[in-house]
Amino acid sequence: MNVDVYVNHVSIGSDGTVYFGTFLTNTGDIGEQSFFNSVNPDSTINWSVLFSDCGVYTYPAIASDGTIYVVPNDPHLRAISSSGVEIWANSDVGCGSTCSPVVGADGTIYVNGSIYTGSYHVGLYSVSSIGNIKWDYCFGGDWVLAFEPTIDSEGTIYIGGPDEYLYAVNVNGNLRWRFKTEGCVYGSPAIATDGTLYCGSDEGVFYAFDTNSTGLATSPWPRVGHDNQNTGNAAWNGW
C-alpha cells in the first residue's frame, strides 16, 4: 500500500529540533491520520503526537522554555512540551486551521479566532502561557482565515481583519488605530528596524506605515515564520 504523506510548515527550535505537521492519506482501513512531529538535527524522530484527522497546517510557534504552540484543525490552541506531552488545549479561542500563533516578550500567545457576541465574529485573542484567555479584541466579519499577528518592539500587535482593516492593538487589548485597506491583509506584516510596517492586500495593493517602533519585538516568536526572513528558526536573531 502506497501511503501519501504531506508535510506542512516547519519551525526550528533554538537547539535545532525541527517541528512540523504531517497528513497521511491512502492509509486503508485506518483512515486519514495527522501527526505533529519532532525530529532531531540528525534526522532521527524524537516523538510524534497523533491528532487523528485534525492536521496542523500552520507554523508552530516556540516559546523561550521550548513549549510549542500549535493550531490543529480541531479548532484548539494547543501547548505541547519539548518532550511531546500536551500541556493544555484551549477550545474557546476557536482558531481556524490557517491561523498561526505568535509569542510576545512576556510569553503571551496571540492568535486569530472566533468571538461570540450574539453571533460569531473574528477577533484577536491574547492567551497566557498557562492557557487562560487574557483579553480579546473583536473585528468585523465572520470568517476565520489566515489573518496573523505581528508584534513590534513596543508590544503593539498588528493584524488584518476580514472587514478589510489593518488593526494596531495595544498589549492591553485596546485599539491604537486601524486603517481601511483595499482588500484583506492576510499573513503576518513585516517590520523593518526603522519602524516601517509593510503588508499587502489581496487586491494587489502594497502598504508601508510609519510606527514608533524599532522593528520586531525581541520575543521568542514575534511573527509567523519567526522573523522577517521567514526562517522559522528560533535561533535566528537577524530580525
Asked if the structure places residue 140 within a domain, the reply is no
CA angle (203 as vertex; 225, 224 as ends), nearest 5 = 10
Asked if the structure places residue 176 within a domain, the reply is no
Closest-CA residue to 79 (of 58, 70, 165): 70
Mean pLDDT for 180-187 is: 88
Residue 48 pLDDT > 80: yes
Asked if the structure places residue 118 within a domain, the reply is no
| Order of all β-strands in the sheet with 77-80 | 61-62, 68-70, 77-80, 86-90
pLDDT 10s digits, 77-91: 999 999 999 999 998
Asked if the structure places residue 39 within a domain, the reply is yes
Residue 213 pLDDT > 60: yes
Asked if the structure places residue 10 within a domain, the reply is yes
CA 25 to chain centre: 25
* Greater model confidence, 217 or 122: 217
Mean pLDDT for 222-239 is: 90
Asked if the structure places residue 8 within a domain, the reply is yes
| Order of all β-strands in the sheet with 4-12 | 4-12, 18-25, 33-39, 45-50
**Do 68 and 82 form a contact (C-beta atoms < 8 A)?**
yes
Q: What is the DSSP letter of 175?
A: E
If you average pLDDT over every residue of the chain, what do you get? 87
Q: What is the pLDDT of residue 159?
A: 94
Whole-prediction pTM: 0.91
For residue 45, give its domain range: 1-88
Residue 206 pLDDT > 90: yes
Q: Provide the pLDDT confidence category of residue 26 given band limits of 50, 70 and 90.
A: low
Mean pLDDT for 49-68 is: 84
Asked if the structure places residue 65 within a domain, the reply is yes
* Greater model confidence, 167 or 95: 167
Residue 43 pLDDT > 70: yes
Domain total of the chain: 1
Mean pLDDT for 118-137 is: 88
